[in-house]
Amino acid sequence: MRPAWTASEPFTTLTSVRELANGSVLAVDFSEPAVYLITAAGQTSRQLGRKGSGPGEYLTPVRLIPLPNDSTLLLDRDANRYLIIAPDGGIVVTTPFPEEMKVAGQFVQGADRLGRLYFQTRALPTTPTGPFTTAVLRWDRRTTRFDSVAAVRMPVASPLSGTLSDGSKYVGMRVLPFAPADDWVVAPDGRVATVRATPYRLEWHGDARRRAVVGAPVSHDPVLVTERDRQRQEPQGPPYRLTYPKHKPAFVPGSVILDDQSRAWVRRQVPFGASMGEWDIFDGSAKYVKTVRLSTRKRILAVTARFIYVARTDDDDVQWLEAYSR
């Protein structure tokens, strides 16, 4: 299948896209770093803002989140703040996250039709022994109210420490390769679609007034972790320093997206070197619908009523934004 259009300019690391009402597209290149406004036909683009710490600038743009009135929130991870982009591409607001979100602001993953933001409180457990669950919170920016809407499992992690070039010491936690973890995404009505790692299934969560909808477990053939997988994680090995499970989890972490019908698309894990990948689709009642196959060189970024937006990586590891008609 041929794309309806391919953006005229390539990307280094395409992390997020957002289709606007007039058909134009916002796109984030994390590595540059840069944010672009691309015309509806994908032929021309212009950069919005620039790298920096001032108003209308960004340090590490990672995610575009739709807001009401066709505006868009741009998450600037390392600056611990967000920018608001108007429908015409103008950056109209640059705002730091509140004190309550000084760390958690980087984990904002979505918003509902009222503009409330949803985020995890943590991405990693504080110690190797847990606890391994964390809350998904909702922040109403108009009232500064926070409430909990779901809980998700974080990945297993191990201690990390070392010495920097200036002689200073650092300590932290490191995610172990192929560690199972839950994933989630927000629907416009405020429900949270949570993909469970064990057992693999979809759940819909709202708030205290809504009962959770739990889908049936989805069977899958375990994918072995091979020597090639270990070499990709640790190019200097063997011997390897990290611990590896026998099998990969059912899905790729951080892959779930929601389409215009509030269906969740989840990217399955596949064997190393596979030419084709799989995306499972679940509906608004948490029921598995079908599986879509796609080249492993292509990664789905967004699904709208018009297009499926895909990042395609070529033989030179350059990424191209492609739009496929629905």
Residue type, 239: P
Question: Residue 232 pLDDT more than 70?
Answer: yes
Give the tokens for residue 181: 């973890």
Question: Residue 16 pLDDT more than 90?
Answer: yes
Strand order in the sheet with 264-267: 257-258, 264-267, 276-282, 288-295
- The residues, any chain, with a CB within 8 Å of residue 167's CB and separated by 6 or more, are none
- The residues, any chain, with a CB within 8 Å of residue 131's CB and separated by 6 or more, are 125
Which phi and psi angles does 11 have, rounded to 5°?
Answer: -130, 160
Give the tokens for residue 196: 């469970």
Whole-number average pLDDT of the chain: 93
What number is the average pLDDT over the span 75-98? Answer: 95
Residue 208 is predicted with a pLDDT of 59
Q: Identify the band that residue 211 occupies on the pLDDT scale cut at 50, 70 and 90.
A: confident
CA–CA gap between residue 175 and residue 188 (Å, rounded): 31
Taking a C-beta distance cutoff of 8 angstroms, is the pair 97, 80 a contact? yes
CA–CA gap between residue 5 and residue 18 (Å, rounded): 16
Q: 166-194: per-residue pLDDT in tens?
A: 888 878 788 889 999 999 999 999 999 99
Question: Residue 268 pLDDT more than 90?
Answer: yes
Question: Residue 60 pLDDT more than 90?
Answer: yes
Cα atoms in the 13 Å half-sphere on the side-chain side of 229: 19
Q: 91-116: per-residue pLDDT in tens?
A: 999 999 998 888 899 999 999 999 99
pTM score > 0.85 for this model? yes
Taking a C-beta distance cutoff of 8 angstroms, is the pair 228, 162 a contact? no
Residue 68 is predicted with a pLDDT of 96
Q: 113-132: per-residue pLDDT in tens?
A: 999 999 999 888 887 777 78
Residue 216 is predicted with a pLDDT of 97
Q: Identify the band that residue 207 occupies on the pLDDT scale cut at 50, 70 and 90.
A: low
CA–CA gap between residue 182 and residue 259 (Å, rounded): 19
Question: Residue 263 pLDDT more than 80?
Answer: yes
15-42 burial, b at 16+ Cβ within 10 Å, e below that, comes to bbbbbbeeebbbbbbbeebbbbbbbeeb
Residue 167 is predicted with a pLDDT of 80
